[in-house]
Amino acid sequence: MTQTHFDAPSEELLGKYSQLKDYLKSLGTVAVAYSSGVDSTFLLYAASAALGENVIALTASSCLFPKRELHEATDYCKELGIEHFVIEADVFSIEGFSDNPPDRCYHCKRRLFEQFLEEAKRHGITSVVEGSNLDDMGDYRPGHRAIAELGILSPLRKIGFTKQEIRIMSAYLGIPTAEKASFACLASRFPYGELISDKKLDMVDKAEQYLLDAGFKQFRVRIHGTDVARIEVLPKDFDRFMDLQFRNSVYSAFKEYGFNYVSLDLKGYRTGSMNETLS
């Protein structure tokens, strides 16, 4: 896999990073909602640099997130010397979750961040911060409403960091997630209104792990009905599916996971493609 070259951060961007640390320092103590993704890892690093031991990390353990993400979160907290607390999140206990309504993310985020607030208070911390960035404001994200209602802080949005700026600063600071692919919870692979189940989540998780192991960096496996997989990859990766042997290996693996039909989305990877059906 080729590495991305990031330019050195501009003086303006370095100034933003200083503002971020100053803002975090002003909070005194913080609990960082930490998923091991690009944004929350950068936020955790900055919080550690600003506050030292006055930072804890909170990570959800849920069927909506692959175990590899939890392991990466645990390892990085150890590397930074940050206390890390894993919160068990039973999403199927949330009323209506399985029915997957358009505002599903609101209910999930609200339950999860209520648990995060409780855990933070147990450690004498009143400020919980999360990693939304400026680019996240351009899509349908009902989870933001839950975050606002609960008083969760979004320092990267407040200071005005874009995703690309976060990647540039992460590379500059030696943060290992600078080139990590964007990820969203596995529930986002389901069309709104289609039933979410443990079995189908497991099918999607295994299918995406297969593509990750095959060397794909940015992709999604969307599930339709009970047995149709729609693969989204970057357009530059389309050529790999022109190889008969590779296509057959993908089909055989996905068949083993429970899919009967496997398709390639001709538009390619894009975030929030399930939102395209919303009016």
| Residues labelled catalytic | 185
CB atoms within 10 A of CB 63: 18
By three-state DSSP, how is residue 36 classified? coil
Q: How does DSSP classify residue 153? A: B
CA distances from 178 to 5, 116, 213, 234 (A): 10, 26, 19, 18
Residues 55 and 30 sit within 8 Å (Cβ to Cβ)? yes
Residues 45 and 80 sit within 8 Å (Cβ to Cβ)? yes
Going by C-alpha positions, the residue among 65, 25, 66, 62 that lies closest to residue 47 is: 25
What does the DSSP assignment read for 219-249?
Answer: EEEEEETTTEEEEEE-GGGGGGGGSHHHHHH
Going by C-alpha positions, the residue among 184, 158, 137, 135 that lies closest to residue 46 is: 158
DSSP helix, strand, coil percent of the chain (3-state; round to 5): 55, 15, 35
Residue that the structure tokens 């990390």 belong to: 57
Residues 109 and 188 sit within 8 Å (Cβ to Cβ)? no
Residues 151 and 27 sit within 8 Å (Cβ to Cβ)? no
In angstroms, the CA 164 to CA 85 distance is: 29
Identify the helix (H) or strand (E) that includes residue 23.
Answer: helix 11-27
